[in-house]
Structure 1
Amino acid sequence: MIRTVACSVLLLVASAPAPGATPRAPQSYPSEDALRRYAQARLLEERGATDEALGEYSRQVLADPRSVSGLVRLSELAARLGRASTSLDFARRALAVDSTSARAWWLLGSAEFNLGRAHEALASLARAVAADSTQADYVRTYARVAEQLDRFDLSAPAYRRAVELDWDDGESWFQLAAAEARRGRFEEARHALNEALAHNPIRPGVFFLQGWVAEGLGRGDEAIGHYREHLDLHDDDLVTRRRLVHLLARAGRWDEALAEARAVLRRAPEDAEAIEEAAELAFRAGRPDEAERLVARLDALAPADLPALARRVELLARNGRHEEGARRARAWTAEHPGDYRGPLLAGRALAIGGDVEGALSEALRARSLAPDSLAPRLLHGRILQNAKRWAEAASVWEEIAGRWPDLIPVRLDLAACRVELKDSAGAERAVRDILSRAPDHPTALNFLGYLLADENRNLDEAEDLIQRAVAKDPDNGAFVDSMGWLHYRRGRLAEARRELERAVELTDGDPIVREHLGDVYRDLGLRDLAREQYRKALEADSTAAGARRKLDGLR
């Protein structure tokens, strides 16, 4: 949506003036004829007689085959006439004479791009920018090609250089904002977008980009407003409308989200994903009749497809109809006796609905139908772990880890169960086993680092482990929480506060993170702030005994 169709690089080349064209001094020409023809060609070019100028440059180069200025002008005129192959040939000939010619590298890269050789073009344009980074045209062309290749790590710095060279280049400001947004650098994108708006407040696509940046900064209401402004102008933009649906749903604005989902369906009536999303929202908005009609539409689209059936079953289960979901799964099983996937699906539906015993029965049935299959075992273990039956779940994970030793997520689940069973040594063994197989696995690094920090031991090792995890995923809220907790354990309250405040934002207020932040505020003497965090932790998880005890202690 944001990445507008790039202007033809040929047109950019054709319209760009030569940066201080430097034909050789008269005495350097091998003949007066070559000099005369070059001068005549420039005159014809200025008069707009492109074909005649091309002929004169050609004759000049025949008289002086090593004339870089003549070869460069031929390359530029060929580009202006849309002859990319010819432009490429003359640029190469110019570089054969002078490999440092920035303009020849630029022309070569532009021709390569227009011939569909984008990766080669990027390398050539990088040479042009390296040879002369003061020419905005070179930098902009490099940025556009990098953007087409989704190399936003390259296009963003290039666009930033372009606006340094030409602060009034509103389009480069806009493209810089888009590139920074694609890199997840939304604060930088916001600044660039403000500059773009100052130069061109009615630029097409600006409302969408404003919405995207606001969404990235966590300003949901602002993003919703901008997306709606965009859709007022582009009613058929389903990508943006779907983003709007998701934002409204995230805010719990079910009726509004459903209205937008209906608008998507009007334009994509056979889109299974859109129908499923509308059905979900209809359930949430308290419109079960509409939701059931939408589920019936899904049934009609793919009645015999098992993955599609699985999505419908889970949709029903998420919305209080797990028995209906399980019934559908069992109906499929009746038509496919002996296939473990039917009981597996019924078990998932019942587990989502909170029927632990029913879900376990289906999982065990799936295991009996496929005794050597992994999937039924995974469901069995997950049901037990979600039900907080830690010892039984750990037993299943141990069995799986023994048969499939390289399944790292299973070993992490095993470690988590052992933590709940107060078997710290067993949890540590499980995670160290992972790190012996995958030394840089970020979740395992964080798990062990947090375990050590939480138990206030081996803090040097814990800090190293957590730092390595954060380096791999700096915006992972769980990792940032671990770093904040490590700082707290080491008495670095200011650093702990900074990291944990950020972790609360990154985790959308996870109750454990809030409790950690409350502990920091309490130890800093900020009792009101501490109470607020403990209260919010309890609002999110009423079973958080630690937060309740600490809140009571501050009253």
Structure 2
Amino acid sequence: MRLRSLTLAVSALVLSACAATAPASPPVSQDWAGRSPYGLFLAGQAALSDGESVQAADYFGRAAEESGVGVLDERAFTAAVLSGDIDMAVRMAPTEADASEAAKRLARLVRAVDAMAHGDGREAYTLLTAQEIGFPHRTAAALLTPWAAAQAGDRQGAIVRPDVPNDKLVEFFGLLGQAYQYERLRRFDEAETDFKALTAEPEAAPMMVLAHGEFLERRGRRDEAVALYDRGLLAYPRDALLTAARARAADRRAAPPPPTPKEGAAQALLTPAAAMLAARQSQFALVYLRLALHLDPERTDAWLMVGDLMAAAGDLQAAREAYARAEPGTPEYPAAQSKLAWSYQNADEPERALEIARQAAADGDPTALLTLSDLLRTNERYAEAIPPLTRLIEESPAPDWRLLFGRGAAYERMGAWPQAEADLQAALELNPDEPDILNYLAYGWIDRGERLEEAMEMVERAVASNPRSGAMIDTLGWGYYRLGEYDKAVEKLEEAVELEAGDPEINNHLGDAYWQVGRRDEAVFQWRRVLTLDPDKRIRADAEAKLASRAGPGVRQTAAAPTK
């Protein structure tokens, strides 16, 4: 069975997130006094749209109290789940015959999770199996059922692998659950068979490698676990959890215990959560994450995913509180700090972002150093971005083209072309077909009038790999410009502007090409447009000089330099 292609994206989403405990809820608005039920309903809708699920739950709850209308009860119930107030959601869960089927399905799922959270596996199992919980919660219910059976003491029910026709997620992640259940029942040979199936692919997803490796550690087979982690790190060299697990196994420290039924159920809910994230169904994803955290409030990966959803909804305070909960010294801490720093950068608070990034990078963690370098480059502090990248390059166990490419780009932006050229060429040697390297190095040569024939061949390869990249088509058009083929330059640069209308450099290039073919008014329009697109200092100065002089672009080299 080929498992990797099925789960790689879902597993990456699950493992890439890290945080620790529940973020504090934003304050609940009390401006509902005097509003009609309909007004409260509209306020709840607006709050829900803005990602303010706690306020939405408050508005809908008040509206339901005032009106007694069932649809408002359903909205209040849903908002309570989204806000993470599962106790309130259980109290408001619709059971009436006239409630919508969607609300009743979610209510059964919520009540089952709450029963497990309180140790009542028997009640949870009944809720999950007495009546089918259909779309869209069928996957979640199927993956939860064996864990509910385990909590209820039903040994046979716990090892039954869930089966939902045509649901590959249930098929695959049900196998993971079954492996854990076999281990819990000390049926180690059967557990190992399942774990081996999960990691059979050379690039098995990190979460499966971790699960299998931890099982081997618990069986006292630490050398085999180290070998498995090493294999995983070949495919995912910067995975913090794999790195930490390998160090633990090599040091012969105690392995994590297998998950309890509550912990296993929480992990099972991350599968549909990640699938919904991949499908851009953010509210469903948040529902499953809130339920997972009701079962296991210490799920750091779930809290980071919640933080991402809150940030996407515009609730930066809730997102930051989620990110900030990861404990220093844990494998998840650097990733959490990275997300926290970027939340400030994206809110136009770069100094606060850099302060967080510097603190996180103080102990030399690779993820933190990379975040610091990326933030410095984003803020055009290129010289400062180079030392963290240099440290990563020097300490990396194997050459990494991405680090060389990043440092080369920083050198280029600060005007140190010889160093940039060396790094970019080294990166290209490691990955000769990478379009981004081909394009960046080719542009550097084209813009300097060097090695034009070689550069044009490289950028044509890049465009062939990524024909919808405005930046790469711009490089091709700029190459034609440097060769003096201005009609071809106009054609390609117009195509690039269509793809990247807001890029100041592409618009500046198009203005130059228009000037050379005699379309002077259009050239002036393009240069004026450049000034409205937040150009950097170099591009702004170039456009302003051309507009002030009305003499057009300066003298350009149009003959190809000899190739080396």
For Structure 1 versus Structure 2, the TM-score category normalised by the shorter chain is: 0.3 to 0.5
Q: What TM-score do you get using the length of structure 2 for normalisation?
A: 0.43
Ranked by relative contact order (alpha carbons within 8 Å, sequence separation 6 or more), the top structure is: 2
Report the structure, 1 or 2, having the larger helix content.
1
Larger Rg: 1
